[in-house]
Amino acid sequence: MRPSTFSIVASDLGKREWGVAVASKFLAVGAVVNWAQAEVGAVATQALARVGYGPDGLALLKQGKSADETLKTLIQADDDRAERQVGIVDRAGHAAAHTGQNCLDWAGHRVGQGYTCQGNILTGPEVLEAMVESFEASSGELADRLLLALRAGDEAGGDKRGKQSAAVLVVRKGGGYGGDTDRYLDLRVDDDPEPAQRLRELAAMHHVFFKPAIEPDFVRIEAEVAQELQRLTRRLGYYTGEVNGDWDQASRESFEELINNENLEERWSQDQDPDLIDRVALDYLRLRFSGED
């Protein structure tokens, strides 16, 4: 089987992030294609994929080789290079790609400043053109830009065999949960009728749970908001006191139990300012429990 697919490899040097996003009519494509290491670079290996291009490519990049040098080293040592497709971005944001002459139609790649898009068994070149246009026109977080490009390729035709899986990987030094790994965002949809769309939904959830709260989003828990949170925690069985708008210790402790159960510790904590909640967490709780009795 071939992970015949379309992907984008890119960097954001301002935020020191590198990442890969991929979609395919192939089970769990992210387990094969996506490779990245903070302050080193990123690699996508596909078509008749040689999975070793991932770790081997990162090892060469870590030695200080450029994307072009790494690509040449990988394919020159490979007797099946005509069957391979690979995209690479190095630590300096330089990109390189290879599409073997025996990759199945339609196959090709597009290399730009800080990114490369590649695909095979696509409906046509319009898939990569849509990805390039989307990525170059977008702004904001690298993960979101990668997923917008992936969605654009999907809507332009994508893998002509259909849809099955998608994945996104973004690395940043200390960007992982707890700060002791570089895997900022690593999400996969291994088998779904609309994997690219589902992946964007998962990324939005990731932002809720793991993006730190920022000051412009803070809302002070005054009487009206306190009553809303008391009603919510009482309805869910956390709070047994009166709904009176008094944000006292019992109210805060009940709310903290809800926050912990919903994995929102990055958004609210008694150890910080318990009289403030950020709007992202508040909106999530309103939506999450809007249908509860």
16-56 tens-digit pLDDT: 999 999 999 999 999 999 999 999 999 999 999 999 999 99
Q: Is the pLDDT of residue 62 over 80?
A: yes
To 10 degrees, the CA torsion angle through 143, 107, 36, 92?
Answer: -90
Looking at residue 50, the DSSP 8-state letter turns out to be: -
DSSP 121-173: SBS-THHHHHHHHHHHH--S-HHHHHHHHHHHHHHTT-BTT---EEEEEEEET
| Stated pTM of the model | 0.88
Q: What is the per-residue pLDDT for 213?
A: 77
What architecture does CATH give domain 5-210? 4-Layer Sandwich (3.60)
Give the residues across from 252 on adjacent strands: none
124-176 pLDDT, tens digit each: 999 999 999 999 999 999 999 999 999 999 999 999 999 999 999 999 999 99
Amino acid 143 reads: A
Tell me what the pLDDT averaged over the chain comes to.
94
Mean pLDDT of 208-222: 85
Q: Give dist(CA 231, CA 228) in Å, integer.
A: 5
